[in-house]
Amino acid sequence: MKEFDFPEKIEKPWGYELIWARSSLDNGYIGKLLYIKAGHRLSFQYHEEKEETIFIKSGILYLETEGFIDEPKGNEIIELHAGEIFHISPLFTHRFIAKENDVELIEVSTKQLEDVIRLRDDYGR
């Protein structure tokens, strides 16, 4: 019995998202695969409520941050390799960057998909 129409592919200027799981509970979860093309990066952003954990499936991901929005620190780049995990709490500034290679990562998050406050964006969104 097929309960949901998955996966749902959403094209992005930097690659795409593939939503492969969506809980039916209000306080449930979303599972995504993000594919980031080499030389591209997502917006520099934070979430007010959304919480996410990422697993690097392939490539080298550079995660740019300035810390928490309410306690800013200097710019930092965290290098994450295949098999590594990183947790992103609400109010934590971040940007995913694929410099020299394509990156695939798996993200499991709370359901607030529209909770994105973009601080800087290469694509004018």
Cβ-based burial of 91 (10 A; exposed 0-12, middle 13-18, buried ≥19): middle
Flag whether pLDDT at 1 surpasses 60.
Answer: no
Q: Is the peptide bond before 13 cis (omega within 30 degrees of 0)?
A: no
Flag whether pLDDT at 58 surpasses 70.
Answer: yes
Model confidence at 82, pLDDT cuts 50, 70, 90, reads very high
- Looking at the structure, give the CATH architecture of the domain made up of residues 8-120: Sandwich (2.60)
- Tell me the whole-structure pTM to 2 decimals: 0.91
**Per-residue pLDDT, 78:** 98
Structural domain boundaries in the chain: 8-120
